[in-house]
Structure 1
Amino acid sequence: MIFMKSNGKDFREGRTALMMRIALLGLPLALGACASSKDDDDLALNDVPAATLYDEGLALRSQGKLSAASKKFEELDRVYPYSEYAKKSLVNMAYLNYSRGKYTEAISAAQRFLTLFPGNEDAAYALYIIGQSYFKQMPDITRDQGMTEKAAASFNELLQRYPDSEYAEDAEKKLRIAHDQLGGKEMQVGRFYLERRNYVAAINRFKTVVLQYQTTRHVEEALFRLTESYYSLGVVTEAQTAAAVLGHNFPDSNWYKDAYALLSKGGYEPSEDTGSWISKAFKGITVF
């Protein structure tokens, strides 16, 4: 027989080749077993009731295991995406991510909740979480105020849609803070232009403060800067109106004293033109 005539080297090579063939034949079986195991795990997960997954998530949350709780609610949302428990899971995911400082994830979960369940009783809370998440990311006054604008928009939407909700009072406070920061940013840019004698650009910024943020602490200075800017341009009637409105609303303000002194140097005094946009902006408005 050929096998008997083979030398030791041929025998070893033949044996090695045989073992390799056996291994290769067994590989698909092993892969199949792994795939089967994964499928079994998925099936096992699907067999866990939504209520059980939700209770497990709540238990983890109460134990302070926020990351594990968040993952449990994510599983529930993935397996039972339109169930009643999925609604609660999304709200919990938003809260847990917010608590962990994961604001992008918190906003995403809350927005998804509002998209899927816009009329749900927890919609006000979802909006509040969105507003809070943006609020926590508000930068200092020298930087871009995109996050501040989004915080203000979210709190404003909450107040418009759910004025009687338990979150309305705090949302109103946070909205005032956001508006104050946005007004402060406009003032910063306006002063920049004013220092460079770009009076038209400066007026546009101060005008924004007067029209959009007139209930903030910046409005006094904005009215004085309008007096200053218009006077520098030679538009005296508008300068007089800005000073008059400033004096009417803030008679004891140092900014009014400065505006009065500025006009006096040229022989003028505050005088309101009721047809001016400045005068109209304050009609029926209680500043403080």
Structure 2
Amino acid sequence: MLSRLFLLLIMFTLVACSSTNDEPEYVERSVEEIYNQAFDSLKERNFRRAALEFDEVERQHPYSIWARRAMLMSAYSYYQQNKYSDAVLTARRFLALHPGNKNAPYAYYLIAQSYYEQISDVSRDQKNTELAVQALRDVIRRYPETDYARDATLKLDLTYDHLAGKEMEVGRFYMKNQFYIAASKRFRNVLLKYQTTSHVEEALHRLTEIYLTLGIESEARSTAAVLGYNYPDSEWYKDSYRMLVDRDFSPEVEETSWFRKFWQSIF
């Protein structure tokens, strides 16, 4: 009796496995038939089925010209499913096998897009953001005169702004807990690495506040002066100015300040 139940259990398990298996049953078909079915699935926005069928082209006809096309279409289908790791893996495999292919620019762009779509909130780890920066730079460096590069440039600016936002969040946390040296390093990182982002004004203000707290008058005055020179109408500058006036100081870039040396190194 127990043996019969065991056999029935195995049979049910096998049926369950076969019904949930994503891979299509192997049926030998012409490359045109498989590719056309995959493309039809893509047009119907059945991206899961499209990816499986495009992969099947490569499995059954690995040396045909259709296999090259199918590999890239498979990467796109994975991307549309939000399966970004699979999209990156497939696109990288395409580039490894066909580095000089005319569609290589799109493969690099798809990799960058896949990382870009995985950028997380500034409160979380920014590993994918760093990978997005590298991939976007790669597109711009390799294909500077293309639409891919132009779009990558826009996204790179947004990605830098995101990374600057992460630095600001960590800096504020350190500042709130009175770890002023650690906080100042984060705010200075924003100025050194992300000078074109929207976070520069606040970073300058926070540094002014920290230097005043630490009693470093020259740096506080210089930082506020730079903030006022570049963003005279900024609310952050008004706050910094008030803090200085309350202590009988005025914004002024002093010869020996870190900020004077920093600004001269840029301009």
TM-score tier after normalising by the smaller chain length: 0.7 to 0.9
User: Which of 157, 160, 172 is residue 138 of structure 2 equivalent to?
Assistant: 157
User: 1:146 is aligned with what amino acid?
Assistant: K
User: 2:186 is aligned with what amino acid?
Assistant: R
Pairs within 5 Å for 1:16-165:
45=28, 48-81=29-62, 83-165=64-146
Which 5+ residue runs of structure 1 have no aligned equivalent?
A: 1-40
- Is 1:239 the counterpart of 2:220? The answer is yes
Q: Which range moves more in the overlay, 205-214 or 257-266?
A: 257-266
Partner of 1:208: 189
- Is 1:228 the counterpart of 2:221? The answer is no
User: 1:88 is aligned with what amino acid?
Assistant: R
Which 5+ residue runs of structure 2 have no aligned equivalent?
A: 1-24
After TM superposition, give the deviation of residue 51 of structure 1 in Å: 4.8
Say if 1:263 and 1:101 are closer, same or farther in 2 by CA, change over 3 A. same
Partner of 2:5: none
After TM superposition, give the deviation of residue 168 of structure 1 in Å: 2.2
Q: Distance in 2 between matches of 1:204 and 1:112?
A: 40
Number of residue-to-residue matches in the alignment: 243
After TM superposition, give the deviation of residue 257 of structure 1 in Å: 1.3
After TM superposition, give the deviation of residue 205 of structure 1 in Å: 0.4
Compute the TM-score of the two structures, normalised by the length of structure 2.
Answer: 0.81
Partner of 1:31: none
Matched-pair contact (CA < 8 Å) for 1:210–1:281: no
Partner of 1:268: 249
Percent identity over the alignment is 43
Measured on the aligned residues, the alpha-carbon RMSD in Å equals 2.4
User: 2:99 is aligned with what amino acid?
Assistant: P
Say if 1:275 and 1:151 are closer, same or farther in 2 by CA, change over 3 A. farther
Q: Distance in 2 between matches of 1:60 and 1:273?
A: 67
Q: Which range moves more in the overlay, 180-189 or 157-166?
A: 157-166
Q: Distance in 1 between matches of 2:255 and 2:35?
A: 63
Bigger Rg over Cα = 1
User: 2:40 is aligned with what amino acid?
Assistant: A
Q: Distance in 1 between matches of 2:147 and 2:43?
A: 23
After TM superposition, give the deviation of residue 281 of structure 1 in Å: 4.5
Q: Which range moves more in the overlay, 142-151 or 273-282?
A: 273-282
Q: Distance in 1 between matches of 2:152 and 2:194?
A: 17
User: 1:73 is aligned with what amino acid?
Assistant: F
User: Which of 138, 149, 164 is residue 168 of structure 1 equivalent to?
Assistant: 149
User: 2:162 is aligned with what amino acid?
Assistant: Q
Q: Distance in 2 between matches of 1:138 and 1:99?
A: 16
Q: Distance in 2 between matches of 1:52 and 1:277?
A: 68
Partner of 2:169: 188
After superposition, give the CA deviation of every residue in 1:108-161 in whole Å (9 maximum; x if it has no partner).
111212222233222221222222222222222221122222222221221122
Say if 1:73 and 1:253 are closer, same or farther in 2 by CA, change over 3 A. same
Say if 1:278 and 1:124 are closer, same or farther in 2 by CA, change over 3 A. farther
Say if 1:50 and 1:217 are closer, same or farther in 2 by CA, change over 3 A. same
After TM superposition, give the deviation of residue 99 of structure 1 in Å: 0.9
What SS does the aligned partner of 1:140 have?
coil
Q: Distance in 2 between matches of 1:88 and 1:279?
A: 55
After TM superposition, give the deviation of residue 283 of structure 1 in Å: 5.1
